[in-house]
């Protein structure tokens, strides 16, 4: 005799009331129930509060697991959405492309407001403030953007986030989740700072090596978390969760100096002060950055300077220049090289051109320069 889901619910409730063991087995796929379970998983992952249907078969368990993952780290949804947006663009479906890109942006923003990630961010901030107050930022390996500090910060972040995600599971589960998350976070921090992968890919015959590096790190991260669950023969939904979670954090793993530099420079841009944007060394926090972080900040400032100069339109090619294949970027680079050579009296280095770019961009923003393409 076969029972439908409603009848099984009644039998399960009766068994519970009479303290009789009842092992529910349901293998039928139901789209509505599967979707409801996935939505409940998203809500639980995002808020930590168990809501919605409990999984009753393998299909629902997988959907709940994937939903929980999206709720725990909403940014994971941005990766496939960006891929779909690229595909839509190639097919000429610009409306779909724009909608998918907005969805990807929304997922990235939501990542900060997931309850586990929110507390993970706060814990990481507290640790960094503690390091600053302790006065140990003077040590190179503890400066903002240093590898060791980055690994420690990532370990705290994912450890706390994992612990918060298991808040209703009791002290033992919270502690186990924090330890597991802390170890995984430190491993991902170390993976982000592992430069050997990027060095191997940086050859003239390899295009988009940065993207390739992230994909390789995604694969490594996926195996780091997923393979142990496979060897332990854990349920398929748990294996999928760990493989995807590892792949996401592996893909997102970046060198500590890049993350610190981007955050530092974003604060400078938000200040609205050209002297900070193009001369980041004027920021009072400058000496707290590691050497690699400073170099990356300078790179960002130089790129921003070129963008500001290009927006003036002063280096747009004339009709004659267009016929020779010159672009505004080519003309601007020639201008910077000429100005740098005139100042330094030698063949200019990239750093020389960057100095000129930041200086002139700052003066343009402040309204104190007359643009002359001949110098």
Nearest to 33 by CA among 11, 12, 8, 70: 8
List, for residues 172-185, the tens digit of each pLDDT value. 888 988 998 888 88
List, for residues 57-94, the tens digit of each pLDDT value. 888 888 989 899 999 999 888 888 888 888 888 888 88
CB 211, CB 36: distance < 8 Å? no
- In order of 158, 264, 271, 367, the CA distances from 283 in angstroms are 30, 9, 10, 22
What is the rounded CA–CA span in Å between residue 13 and residue 215? 47
Nearest to 180 by CA among 228, 139, 141, 233: 228
The domain locations on the chain are: 5-72, 257-365
What confidence score (pLDDT) does residue 49 get? 92
Q: Which residues of the chain have pLDDT under 70?
A: 1-8, 22-28, 194-212, 272, 274-275, 366-375
Nearest to 55 by CA among 69, 41, 43, 42: 41
Residue 370 neighbours by CB under 8 Å, 6+ apart: none
The distance in angstroms from the start CA to the end CA of the chain is 90
Place of tokens 């940065």: 210
> Residue 46 class from Cβ within 10 Å (0-12 exposed, 13-18 middle, 19+ buried)?
buried
What is the rounded CA–CA span in Å between residue 33 and residue 53? 8
What is the rounded CA–CA span in Å between residue 339 and residue 282? 24
What confidence score (pLDDT) does residue 44 get? 93
């Amino acid at each position: 005799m076969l029972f439908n889901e409603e009848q099984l619910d009644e039998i399960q409730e009766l068994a519970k009331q009479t303290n009789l063991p009842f092992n529910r087995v349901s293998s039928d796929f139901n789209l509505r129930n599967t979707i409801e379970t996935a939505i409940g998983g998203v809500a639980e992952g995002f808020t930590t509060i168990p809501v919605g249907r409990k999984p009753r078969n393998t299909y629902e368990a997988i959907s709940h697991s994937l939903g929980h993952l999206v709720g725990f780290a909403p940014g994971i949804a941005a990766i496939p959405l960006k891929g779909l947006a690229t595909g839509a663009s190639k097919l000429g479906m610009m409306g779909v492309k724009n909608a998918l890109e907005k969805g990807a942006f929304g997922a990235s923003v939501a990542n900060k407001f997931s309850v586990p990630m929110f507390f993970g961010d706060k814990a990481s901030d507290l640790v960094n403030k503690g390091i600053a107050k302790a006065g140990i930022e003077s040590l190179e390996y503890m400066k903002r953007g240093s590898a060791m500090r980055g690994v420690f910060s990532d370990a705290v972040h994912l450890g706390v986030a994992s612990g918060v995600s298991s808040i209703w599971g009791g002290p033992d589960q919270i502690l186990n989740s924090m330890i597991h998350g802390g170890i995984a976070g430190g491993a991902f921090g170390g993976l982000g700072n592992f430069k050997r992968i990027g060095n191997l890919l940086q050859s003239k015959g390899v295009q988009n090596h940065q993207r390739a590096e992230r994909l390789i790190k995604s694969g490594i991260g996926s195996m780091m978390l997923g393979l142990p669950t496979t060897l332990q023969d854990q349920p398929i939904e748990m294996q999928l969760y760990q493989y995807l979670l590892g792949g996401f954090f592996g893909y997102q793993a970046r060198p500590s100096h890049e993350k610190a530099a981007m955050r530092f420079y974003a604060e400078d841009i938000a200040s609205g002060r050209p002297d900070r944007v193009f001369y980041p060394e004027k920021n009072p926090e400058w000496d707290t950055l590691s050497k690699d972080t400073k170099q990356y900040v300078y790179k960002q400032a130089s790129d921003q300077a070129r963008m500001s100069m290009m927006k003036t339109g002063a280096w747009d090619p004339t009709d004659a220049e267009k016929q020779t294949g010159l672009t505004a970027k080519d003309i601007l680079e020639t201008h910077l090289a000429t100005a740098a050579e005139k100042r330094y009296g030698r063949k200019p280095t990239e750093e020389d051109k960057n100095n000129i770019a930041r200086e002139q961009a700052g003066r343009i923003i402040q309204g104190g320069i007359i643009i002359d393409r001949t110098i």
